């Protein structure tokens, strides 16, 4: 028997879905091998038959037929054969001369269709979103960007378990120095295995792991991804991950959405200003409550100070404990409503509403004002673009709350300064996080 087939049979002897069928093509014996869970045997065979019949009719030689069927490969290249089988290709081995062909068969339908986005809402924009299949994703981007300047490079990462990643960029608008750096990193570390984005950013890209803000901006909207490409950023796709990773990520991604531009200019500015104010309120409001109640009440007008003090009558602990306690419950509610299936989710909302509503106030555990602050914070936290950004924002407000408890209003301002300094110190291969776009001819397109 063919040596390569024998090797594959040994390799996949424990796999029930592996098949090796003997057939006769144009008077020579061949073995077809593959996984019946990844490819549709019956349709593939029909297709093969059509090829052979056409070849017999036109009198094509066998070597030409091989080239027509797919990629002819050497019998000694077992690693490549193994990878092709695992990615759902059909291996055709000719017994008499020992050559092999890797053919693209009819695949089993294992991908979902292109659907509207789930994690991001679109307001007046295109509704497609990325899916798990990397080819489909690149195809969608190509549909969005009809230009011959879009470059796509694909890499297989890892030796034991292989992950395919693709790098897309817009030639002529992207800073090529940055792209070379990126490609160099991928090439250098291509033998390392990655299973998640943490590993991608640490092992492949060489980013530090203790950062609050991811170096990748994520989006599942093709329209946004295409716009990032136009602005000179690079987009990374990972097979089986239905999101586009935009590098370098910039601060303005948090506030500016491309589909805003489908609205008239004043409305767009209004929306963006709202997001900025939302982010600012999220960070400042809880701290302001703690500072004004416990450290600097004299800053307030006397009427205001008294009415705040009245809402806190009978509450047994300091403002900081009150605040941290309720923020913590709120975080739990948010996390729980993400975890739960859609049909139980509303229960959490309802129960949470009862806790955060009247009950906790009537039980004299927290003040009325705190509930208002808490609600305002949560709402404003959700105004910014992208869930991972709102997570960073959620964490940073604790810095301010703690500093406000110690230093009052001074603590808030200094905490803001600290956060600003942190944000300002971030950069991706020398491209600052708070810059407007990636270095080169950016102002024009940004």
What are the residues whose beta carbons fall under 8 Å from the beta carbon of 46, sequence distance 6 or more?
Answer: none
CB of 295 to another protein, least distance (A): 7
- One residue of 234, 408, 431, 437 binding another protein per CB under 8 A: 408
- One residue of 61, 387, 420, 444 binding another protein per CB under 8 A: 420
Is 409 a binder of another protein (CB under 8 A)? Answer: yes
Q: Which of 166, 367 has the CB closer to another protein?
A: 367
Segment near another protein (CB under 8 A); pick from 12-20, 161-169, 331-339, 421-429? 421-429
Compute the distance between CA of residue 9 and CA of residue 436 in angstroms, rounded to an integer.
Answer: 55
Is 421 a binder of another protein (CB under 8 A)? Answer: yes
Longest Cα separation, the chain? 101
CA dist list (Å): 109 to 44, 63, 85, 112: 13, 31, 17, 8
Query: Quick check: bond before 248 cis, omega within 30?
Result: yes
CB of 236 to another protein, least distance (A): 25
Compute the distance between CA of residue 174 and CA of residue 79 in angstroms, rounded to an integer.
Answer: 35
CB of 302 to another protein, least distance (A): 7
Binding-site string for another protein from residue 265 to residue 304, where x marks contact by CB under 8 A and - marks none: ------------------------------xx-xxxxx-x
Give the pair of three-digit tokens for residue 140.
Answer: 């969608």
Q: What angle do CA 392, 394, 396 make, to 5 degrees?
A: 70
> Does an H or E element contain 95, and which?
none
Contact between 241 and 166 under an 8 Å Cβ cutoff? The reply is: no
* Residue among 323, 371, 289, 325 nearest 297 (CA): 289
Is 446 a binder of another protein (CB under 8 A)? Answer: no
Radius of gyration, alpha carbons of the chain: 29
Give the pair of three-digit tokens for residue 384.
Answer: 């910014």
3-state secondary structure of 277: helix
CB of 417 to another protein, least distance (A): 5
CB of 411 to another protein, least distance (A): 8
The alpha carbon torsion through 183, 184, 185, 189 (nearest 10 deg) reads 110
CB of 438 to another protein, least distance (A): 13
- One residue of 337, 413, 436, 446 binding another protein per CB under 8 A: 413
Give the pair of three-digit tokens for residue 424.
Answer: 């300002």
Is 252 a binder of another protein (CB under 8 A)? Answer: no
- One residue of 33, 48, 416, 431 binding another protein per CB under 8 A: 416
How many residues lie near another protein (CB under 8 A)?
26
Is 414 a binder of another protein (CB under 8 A)? Answer: yes
- One residue of 38, 365, 423, 436 binding another protein per CB under 8 A: 423
Is 443 a binder of another protein (CB under 8 A)? Answer: no
Q: Which of 88, 432 has the CB closer to another protein?
A: 432
3-state secondary structure of 376: helix
3-state secondary structure of 398: helix
Compute the distance between CA of residue 279 and CA of residue 392 in angstroms, rounded to an integer.
Answer: 11
Phi and psi (nearest 5°) for 102?
Answer: -100, 115
CB of 43 to another protein, least distance (A): 58
Give the pair of three-digit tokens for residue 133.
Answer: 């299949």
Going by the DSSP 8-state scheme, the letter that residue 106 receives in this structure is P
* Residue among 19, 5, 40 nearest 110 (CA): 40
Is 24 a binder of another protein (CB under 8 A)? Answer: no
Contact between 218 and 209 under an 8 Å Cβ cutoff? The reply is: no
Q: Which of 26, 277 has the CB closer to another protein?
A: 277
Segment near another protein (CB under 8 A); pick from 56-64, 200-208, 389-397, 411-419? 411-419
Is 417 a binder of another protein (CB under 8 A)? Answer: yes
Q: Per CB under 8 A, which of residues 302..321 are in contact with another protein?
A: 302, 304
Contact between 124 and 263 under an 8 Å Cβ cutoff? The reply is: yes
CB of 304 to another protein, least distance (A): 5
- One residue of 18, 19, 252, 407 binding another protein per CB under 8 A: 407
Following DSSP, what letter does each residue of 126-161 receive, concatenated? Answer: ------S-HHHHHHHHHHH---TTEEEEEEEE-SSS
CB of 269 to another protein, least distance (A): 16
- One residue of 176, 196, 434, 444 binding another protein per CB under 8 A: 434
Segment near another protein (CB under 8 A); pick from 61-69, 116-124, 208-216, 404-412? 404-412
- One residue of 127, 152, 269, 424 binding another protein per CB under 8 A: 424
Q: Which residues bind another protein (CB under 8 A)?
A: 295-296, 298-302, 304, 406-411, 413-414, 416-418, 420-421, 423-425, 432, 434
């Amino acid at each position: 028997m063919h040596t390569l087939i024998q090797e594959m049979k040994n390799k996949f002897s424990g796999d029930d879905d592996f098949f090796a069928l003997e057939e006769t093509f144009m008077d020579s014996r061949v073995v077809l091998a593959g996984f019946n869970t990844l490819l549709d045997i019956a349709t593939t065979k029909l297709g093969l038959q059509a090829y052979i019949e056409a070849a017999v009719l036109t009198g094509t030689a066998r070597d030409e037929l091989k080239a027509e069927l797919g990629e002819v490969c050497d019998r000694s290249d077992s690693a490549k054969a193994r990878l092709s089988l695992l990615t759902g290709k059909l291996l055709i081995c000719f017994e008499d001369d020992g050559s092999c062909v890797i053919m693209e068969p009819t695949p089993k339908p294992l991908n979902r269709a292109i659907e509207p986005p789930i994690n991001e809402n679109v307001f007046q924009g295109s509704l497609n979103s990325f899916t798990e299949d990397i080819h489909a994703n690149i195809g969608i981007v190509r549909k969005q960007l009809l230009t011959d300047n879009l470059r796509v490079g694909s890499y297989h990462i890892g030796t034991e378990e292989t992950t395919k990643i693709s790098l897309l960029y817009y030639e002529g608008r992207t800073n090529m120095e940055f792209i070379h750096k990126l490609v160099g990193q991928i090439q250098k570390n291509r033998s390392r295995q990655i299973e998640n984005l943490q590993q991608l950013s640490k092992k492949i890209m060489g980013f530090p792991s203790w950062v609050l803000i991811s170096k990748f901006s994520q989006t599942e909207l093709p329209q946004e991804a295409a716009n990032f490409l136009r602005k000179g950023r690079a987009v990374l796709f990972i097979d089986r991950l239905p999101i586009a990773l935009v590098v370098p990520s910039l601060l303005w991604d948090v506030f500016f959405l491309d589909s805003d531009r489908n609205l008239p200019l004043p409305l767009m500015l209004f929306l963006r200003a709202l997001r900025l104010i939302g982010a600012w309120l999220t960070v400042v409001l809880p701290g302001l409550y703690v500072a004004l109640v416990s450290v600097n009440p004299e800053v307030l007008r006397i009427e205001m100070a008294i009415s705040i003090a009245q809402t806190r009558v009978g509450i047994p602990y300091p403002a900081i404990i009150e605040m941290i306690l309720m923020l913590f419950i709120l975080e739990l509610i948010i996390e729980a409503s993400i975890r739960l299936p859609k049909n139980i989710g509303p229960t959490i909302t309802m129960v949470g509403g009862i806790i955060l509503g009247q009950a906790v106030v009537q039980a004299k555990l927290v003040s009325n004002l705190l509930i208002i602050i808490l609600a305002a914070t949560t709402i404003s936290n959700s105004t910014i673009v992208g869930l991972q950004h709102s997570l960073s924002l959620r964490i940073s407000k604790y810095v301010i709350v703690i500093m406000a408890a110690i230093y009052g209003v001074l603590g808030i301002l200094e905490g803001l300064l600290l956060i600003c300094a942190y944000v300002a110190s971030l950069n991706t291969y020398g491209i600052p996080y708070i810059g407007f776009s990636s270095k080169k001819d950016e102002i024009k397109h940004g």
